Structure 1
């Protein structure tokens, strides 16, 4: 841990660092590849929408020895619709049937009682109508759009419009990847998923704003110097906050991983999968986008400005001049004969005076007699 702390201090001071902005094309390519994969998964497989969005019924049975696959067969035969069955931690079964008419729920419940050999009164039924599901979906999209608009307005006022655009691109990147993972994995999309998405968007913005704030502070008078370009300062801002971003991301991912892998996988609490998967994927994608997407994209947009183009020319010219002088000095030092006296040293060092010039020194007038 002390080594990590020392590394963070050295990164903050600019003693070491990685050229994130210089290698931005690599990160853009990786993000594009992941995004295309997510879109293909969403297009081919689609989302497994919960009954809160499509309407239907959820039956929770008492503990039974019937297998999940057999229970799915019984549920589909009783309802005529596709069923999703999950085994809960205590051996109970959660049977979700989307699109089933709520008026037929009693008949489905009776059939399941016979097939699963459990008392009908011990089967809990939750019914959702399709109109209510449509309202939930509309409200979810409405909340997401409003969130995006408010984010862009705030960042444009607090920072500048280029940073607002970069943050918006990073958010869309995170949403697309998270939704695509949901499609590929096949987890159920519930209101908990929407809550998880909104949560990880806020977390992604937190990391991005931290870097943007550092970048804004370091570029106040950037045009008054000729040592750094805007991309150089942006890269230093990423490096100075890198360890902080890693620490906060790891600390946030650990409990979410516990919910996803231990709660959902080991203990069988399937109801935790919807929100834990969105949080886990979104937190990782948000940390990636704040470092590899948002800030390099801001640097790309800023470098298009006339002032930044002129600054880059001055910086490059100064660096070329310094390199030429260094090369020239190296050539001179290499070309010197070690057996011959160095002229520069002869000029700088003390010169031996003729004996005649030393006459008369030490007398009040200093004149020769």
Structure 2
């Protein structure tokens, strides 16, 4: 185990060197990197929105809007086809998902079916025409009445097509804003994720993304006064539309579209040469220019309307034919609103309305604060862990600390290489892996000390220590990895960032602890040729410790049962403080522009807005305020209206540092995903432990883990800490940590069962726990030190996450000793021996 060939050693050192080269750009300012030669690695970690500021918006296609448009289009198509075929009809109507028409002459029914057969013809779908679907089903409920019903497959096909078109349009719109590295991605069957880093004005982004931008040029119907049409009934083929003015001005508009936005090839914000007002200049393609020229030629002196999303922008008079295919749109624009309209027109219209169902916005100031807090927490946590390792292991602790530096560099280097996004929870993941990375070294070092106490030479002890610790290291890290994979699979945004960082940390831990540390130890052995292991300044658990843990198992069972019942009762009777992730609503963090925030004034202003239940509280410093607004019953659009109202009321005196809006649709999905995530993680771990051990071990590990989950939920109930997506991440990480601890104890139990074949089970368990007590103590202390740094210095954003983690580590350590181990007795893993079996000597069993 301690022998390394020259090539193997060179490869390890090469991997370490590459790691530092990949990580180094993150320590160099971007402007300095730009000046370096092209062959120098320059890739830095991508900062998440919570660190550099920006907006995360989840858009959903309005399927009802899509169905309505398709219904209208199909109705018009039926009208055209029957007229072209000279077939008389009546009662052409559409509602819901059904269009129907009655053929007047029974002898023409077959001809009508033939004329309309294109509607029910299969439509090609899938890649390269890999499949077909039928969009409409036709039936004849009574003679002469033809009914067409839109199929589920047809709706899905139209939604998928509209989603693909919407992604292209949204991508063009976002890129037109001039933002750097925006992300526009499909999510599921009907959603689009938009992430724009460093965005200063998220409100403008939402306005641009939320507009369908269906532009049409239509004639104004001047056959009757518009007020008469409003009071009575508009003429056939015309409708009353309103302008965007305040108050809105009504217009009677002909339904016939002269030219639509599809015929635009360019649109630019410019200024009117006569009055210097902002306008939008546009240019049609050849088809649009011809149609527009013909319409203006035939209607000189009349009014025509420019309509955007069923609102009249302007209705100028045609003074002369416009034959060049160009024109201007005026309408009391500001420079920015003219530019935004030009952006919308250039990008094209959306095929359906997009609704904002989730929004998470972080201001750049809060992002910088989070980076600073993360750096401070990381430095302090690292110093505490490094100092503790040196105190616990002396020179071997120094070698572990060198490996720890390589471990962190590998995480940063791999994150940079993969282009992964570093979030604030991701920083927490790095700090947490610093605490947990030493666990593998602790396992190895404690095993080495134990082998040395049993009389092996230094080299033999070290070699055997590495060999015997390997299986435990693999088992304990695999269980944590399972929970992390589930977290990545079901998480989103910052939570997924934590999962990526933590998963990379687990993998690099195995390499640095087992491979790199082993290389360092072998070099030290070759050069120093020590006669004894280095002494540690402090011994935390004296050799030969023999605490009768199983003697109090009935008391610990009773205590845990009582606390578990109390946690369940609290969960069912006391409302847990769910965040917007799970109950919907809005969370807004604002900061006073001058002096301490006036909470009473904020509360008074918001109470007048008629936006439901509002909570206002101080958050961190006296200038920071956290506002929570309950979910709105009117749905996702109402949630966005709340933000607009609050922003309008407070933006003069307060900066908006963070905005989170989760609609009812997304919140219910997140709650379901969180529940499924915990169940999937538990089942995966159960299967793995059952595969590696016996069924008693697997069930015992799961029971102990469920105990820790219940305790953590009780902790949330008692403390009132907000329970959000990060809390699910904390619970899944606690599952991994608790199983890690339990597996270490179980691995030693399994080893002792083979060694002491006739020893009573309680004595086996006492021995195994005492043998691993030093490792359990040291690992818990290092992890707690790292988490304490996060709690005290990591900032308010992740405080609920780290507090839950801190609590979970303490109870995870407790359950490994007092719940998981005694359960093996309850499950009768080994039957009680008879009186002739061996007795313990000095509190320890005798091997047979």
1:48·1:187 contact (CA, 8 Å) conserved in 2? Answer: yes
Correspondence 1:1-369 to 2 at 5 A:
2=536, 5=539, 7-8=541-542, 10=543, 15-63=544-592, 65-68=596-599, 71-72=602-603, 74-78=605-609, 79-83=611-615, 85-89=617-621, 91-100=623-632, 102-104=636-638, 108-109=642-643, 112=646, 116=650, 118=652, 125-220=659-754, 222-223=756-757, 225=758, 228-263=759-794, 269-302=795-828, 308-309=831-832, 311-315=833-837
Deviates more, 1:71-80 or 1:211-220: 71-80
Partner of 1:93: helix, strand, or coil? strand
User: For the residues of structure 2 that align with 1:201 and 1:143, how far apart are their CA atoms?
Assistant: 11
Q: Summarize the Cα distance change of 1:246–1:93 in structure 2 as closer, same or farther, 3 Å threshold.
A: same
User: For the residues of structure 2 that align with 1:141 and 1:127, how far apart are their CA atoms?
Assistant: 21
The Cα of 1:40 is off from its aligned counterpart by 2.7
The Cα of 1:190 is off from its aligned counterpart by 1.2
The Cα of 1:141 is off from its aligned counterpart by 1.1
Q: Summarize the Cα distance change of 1:109–1:135 in structure 2 as closer, same or farther, 3 Å threshold.
A: closer
Aligned length: 301
User: If each structure's strand is expressed as a fraction of its own residues, which one has the higher value?
Assistant: 2
Q: Summarize the Cα distance change of 1:154–1:69 in structure 2 as closer, same or farther, 3 Å threshold.
A: farther
Q: Summarize the Cα distance change of 1:206–1:104 in structure 2 as closer, same or farther, 3 Å threshold.
A: same
User: For the residues of structure 1 that align with 2:696 and 2:640, how far apart are their CA atoms?
Assistant: 57
Q: Summarize the Cα distance change of 1:33–1:262 in structure 2 as closer, same or farther, 3 Å threshold.
A: farther
The Cα of 1:159 is off from its aligned counterpart by 0.8
Partner of 2:660: helix, strand, or coil? strand
Aligned position for 1:345? none
The Cα of 1:113 is off from its aligned counterpart by 5.5
The Cα of 1:171 is off from its aligned counterpart by 0.6
Query: TM-score, length-normalised on structure 1?
Result: 0.73
1:174·1:286 contact (CA, 8 Å) conserved in 2? Answer: yes
1:171·1:204 contact (CA, 8 Å) conserved in 2? Answer: yes
Task: Please list the CA deviations of residues 280-303 of structure 1 after superposition, one character each: whole Å capped at 9, or x if unmatched.
Answer: 111111000001110111123226
Deviates more, 1:133-142 or 1:205-214: 133-142
The Cα of 1:32 is off from its aligned counterpart by 1.7
The Cα of 1:98 is off from its aligned counterpart by 2.8
The Cα of 1:278 is off from its aligned counterpart by 1.6
2:571·2:717 contact (CA, 8 Å) conserved in 1? Answer: yes
Partner of 1:80: helix, strand, or coil? coil
The Cα of 1:71 is off from its aligned counterpart by 3.7
The Cα of 1:170 is off from its aligned counterpart by 0.6
Aligned position for 1:341? none
User: For the residues of structure 2 that align with 1:82 and 1:284, how far apart are their CA atoms?
Assistant: 35
User: For the residues of structure 2 that align with 1:234 and 1:124, how far apart are their CA atoms?
Assistant: 51
Partner of 1:314: helix, strand, or coil? coil
Q: Summarize the Cα distance change of 1:21–1:87 in structure 2 as closer, same or farther, 3 Å threshold.
A: same
The Cα of 1:48 is off from its aligned counterpart by 1.2
Task: Please list the CA deviations of residues 15-42 of structure 1 after superposition, one character each: whole Å capped at 9, or x if unmatched.
Answer: 3311111220111122122222322322
Task: Please list the CA deviations of residues 206-256 of structure 1 after superposition, one character each: whole Å capped at 9, or x if unmatched.
Answer: 110001001101111544x4xx31210111000111121111111111221
User: For the residues of structure 2 that align with 1:167 and 1:231, how far apart are their CA atoms?
Assistant: 17
Aligned position for 2:21? none
The Cα of 1:112 is off from its aligned counterpart by 4.1
Q: Which runs of 5+ in 2 are unaligned?
A: 1-391, 393-535, 841-848
User: For the residues of structure 1 that align with 2:813 and 2:620, how far apart are their CA atoms?
Assistant: 32
Q: Summarize the Cα distance change of 1:185–1:77 in structure 2 as closer, same or farther, 3 Å threshold.
A: farther
User: For the residues of structure 2 that align with 1:5 and 1:160, how far apart are their CA atoms?
Assistant: 35
Partner of 1:174: helix, strand, or coil? helix
Partner of 1:213: helix, strand, or coil? helix
2:612·2:629 contact (CA, 8 Å) conserved in 1? Answer: no
Q: Which runs of 5+ in 1 are unaligned?
A: 264-268, 321-369
User: For the residues of structure 2 that align with 1:154 and 1:176, how far apart are their CA atoms?
Assistant: 22
Aligned position for 2:329? none
User: For the residues of structure 2 that align with 1:233 and 1:68, how far apart are their CA atoms?
Assistant: 60
Q: Summarize the Cα distance change of 1:282–1:18 in structure 2 as closer, same or farther, 3 Å threshold.
A: same
1:20·1:296 contact (CA, 8 Å) conserved in 2? Answer: no
User: For the residues of structure 2 that align with 1:24 and 1:123, how far apart are their CA atoms?
Assistant: 50
User: For the residues of structure 1 that align with 2:688 and 2:657, how far apart are their CA atoms?
Assistant: 50
Q: Summarize the Cα distance change of 1:165–1:76 in structure 2 as closer, same or farther, 3 Å threshold.
A: farther
1:49·1:190 contact (CA, 8 Å) conserved in 2? Answer: yes
Aligned position for 2:366? none
1:72·1:85 contact (CA, 8 Å) conserved in 2? Answer: no
The Cα of 1:175 is off from its aligned counterpart by 0.3
1:208·1:290 contact (CA, 8 Å) conserved in 2? Answer: yes
User: For the residues of structure 1 that align with 2:684 and 2:647, how far apart are their CA atoms?
Assistant: 50
Question: What RMSD over aligned residues (CA atoms) do the two structures have, in Å?
Answer: 2.8
Q: Summarize the Cα distance change of 1:239–1:122 in structure 2 as closer, same or farther, 3 Å threshold.
A: closer
Partner of 2:551: helix, strand, or coil? coil
The Cα of 1:197 is off from its aligned counterpart by 0.8
Task: Please list the CA deviations of residues 71-127 of structure 1 after superposition, one character each: whole Å capped at 9, or x if unmatched.
Answer: 455445532124253424482323121313553456645654576573588576432
Aligned position for 2:166? none
User: For the residues of structure 2 that align with 1:288 and 1:28, how far apart are their CA atoms?
Assistant: 11
Partner of 2:808: helix, strand, or coil? helix
1:113·1:119 contact (CA, 8 Å) conserved in 2? Answer: no
Q: Summarize the Cα distance change of 1:249–1:59 in structure 2 as closer, same or farther, 3 Å threshold.
A: same
Q: Summarize the Cα distance change of 1:319–1:84 in structure 2 as closer, same or farther, 3 Å threshold.
A: same
The Cα of 1:193 is off from its aligned counterpart by 0.7
User: For the residues of structure 2 that align with 1:69 and 1:253, how far apart are their CA atoms?
Assistant: 38
